């Protein structure tokens, strides 16, 4: 399975809470960085346990675009929590030995950040209104 297929399979398995399938996508020595919270998960078991123990209900996750090459891929993921709050995530992964090994996930809360003063122009649509 190439990296793009494997990344899609990983996040779809997370949504389905299919921990066996998710485990099969990850290298035993997988490492994932979460820069927004300064967390680093080391080892497949830690990654799966982090996902498994995340408080429920955590909402609906859908995989959008997945772009990649044979051994690396990027995914755009959308999450809507039970209250309707939207989150976006960009994930970047590299494979090692045919499994996802090195990842980074950048998370944002959709609509929460305010543009810098003076940045909005006639060319930028303000989606807050």
Domain borders along the chain are 3-109
Tokens standing for 68?
A: 């990649």
At 87, the pLDDT band (50, 70, 90 cuts) reads very high
| Mean pLDDT for all residues in the chain | 91
**Higher-confidence residue: 50 or 57?**
50
Q: Which residues contact 51 (CB under 8 A, 6 or more apart)?
A: 14, 19, 22
pTM of this prediction?
A: 0.87
Range with the poorest average pLDDT among 46-50, 59-63, 108-112: 108-112
At 113 the pLDDT is 76
Q: 3-class DSSP state for residue 113? A: coil
The predicted structure's pLDDT at residue 120: 59
Fold type of domain 3-109: Nuclear Transport Factor 2; Chain: A, (3.10.450)
């Amino acid at each position: 399975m190439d990296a793009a297929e494997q990344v899609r399979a990983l996040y779809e398995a997370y949504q389905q809470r299919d921990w066996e399938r998710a485990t099969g996508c990850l290298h035993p020595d997988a490492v994932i960085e979460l820069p927004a919270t300064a967390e680093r998960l080391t080892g497949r078991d830690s990654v799966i346990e982090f996902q498994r123990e995340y408080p429920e209900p955590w909402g609906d996750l859908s995989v959008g675009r997945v772009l990649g090459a044979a051994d690396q891929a990027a995914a755009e993921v959308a999450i809507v929590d039970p209250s309707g709050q939207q989150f976006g995530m960009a994930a970047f992964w590299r494979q090692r030995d045919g499994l996802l090994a090195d990842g980074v996930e950048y998370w944002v809360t959709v609509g929460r950040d305010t543009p810098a003063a003076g940045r909005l122009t006639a060319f930028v649509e303000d989606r807050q209104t």
